[in-house]
Copies of this chain bind each other. A is one copy, B any other.
Amino acid sequence: MTVLSLRPQAIPGRRERVRKATQRKADELLQTAAALMAEKGFEATAIRDVGRKLDASLAGMYYYFKSKEELLYQIQYRTFASLLQAQQQIAERPGTPKDRLRRLLIGHLTFFTSHPNEMKICTYELESLTGEYYNTVLELRRRYYRLMADLVAQLMTGPARKARASAHSRRVTLFVFGMLNWAFTWYSQAKDGTAEKLGGEMFDLVINGIGLEPLNR
C-alpha cells in the first residue's frame, strides 16, 4: 500500500502512521509530476525526472505510488473530483439558468487558472489510462459533462421550441467545452485578464453571439 492510494480515513489493520510531512511530500510530488507531464506529456515524462526535480531517488518514488499509471490516475482523479465538487456547489446556488451558466463558465476558468498543469493533463491524458483507472475518471468526466449539458438544454428549451433541442443542445454544450478546454493553449493573465472577464466574454458569445445585430434596446 503506497502513500497516494491511502484514503484519508485509514484502513484498519494496515499502516499505523503516515507522517504529516509525508503527506505534504505526496502533495508536492503530485504537483511536480503534473508540471512535468503538462510540459512534456505523460509518455515522455520519466519518473527519474520527477525524482530529480524533488531531490529524491528513483526508487524512493515508488513509496508514494505503485505504478506510473497510478500516479497519472491520482492527478486526474483528485483534480476532477475537486473541480466537480466546486462546480456542483456553484450550479446549486439559486439564479436563472443564464446566471448559473455564467457562473459555471467563470468557475471553470477560475479553477483552470489556479491549476493549469493538472487541468491540461485531465484534458489531454485521459486516454493514457486503462481499465479501472480509465473508467473511474471517465465517470467523473461524464458527470461534469452532464452538469453543463443539463444547464444548456434547460437554457435552450426555455423560450424556444422543445423539439430537436436535445441533439442540438448537445453540440452547443460541446462547443462550450471546446472553448473552455482550448484556452489551455493560449490563455495569458497579462493579455486576457482575469477568469471573470474571460468567462464573461465567453458567456456573451454563447448568449448573444458576436455583437453584430444591434441589441434591441
Which residues on A are within 8 Å of B, measured CB to CB?
A: 41, 43-44, 98, 124, 127-128, 152, 155-156, 158-160, 167-168, 170-172, 174-175, 177-183, 186, 191-192, 198, 201-202, 204-214, 216
Contact = CB atoms under 8 A, between A and B. Distances in A.
Consensus secondary structure, chain A interface: helix
Contacts of A209: 204-209
Given A155-B212, A178-B179, A206-B210, 6 more contacts: A156-B212, A160-B211, A172-B205, A182-B182, A205-B205, A207-B209
Given A44-B43, A181-B182, A182-B181, A205 B156 contact: no
A158 B181 CA distance: 29
Contacts of A175: 179, 182, 202, 205
19 contacts: A41-B41, A41-B128, A44-B128, A152-B210, A155-B210, A155-B212, A156-B210, A156-B211, A156-B212, A159-B212, A160-B212, A167-B192, A172-B205, A178-B178, A178-B181, A205-B206, A205-B209, A206-B209, A207-B210
A47 to B, nearest CB: 15
Contacts of A44: 43, 128
A70 to B, nearest CB: 18
A159 B214 contact: yes
Contact of A174 (B127, B172, B174, B186): B186
Nearest to A207: B209
Given A156-B211, A160-B212, A183-B178, A192 B171 contact: yes
Contacts of A180: 178
A43 B171 CA distance: 31
Given A177-B182, A182-B181, A172 B210 contact: yes
Contacts of A152: 210
A189 to B, nearest CB: 13
A78 B179 CA distance: 27
B171 A198 contact: yes
A201 B160 contact: no
A174 B183 contact: yes
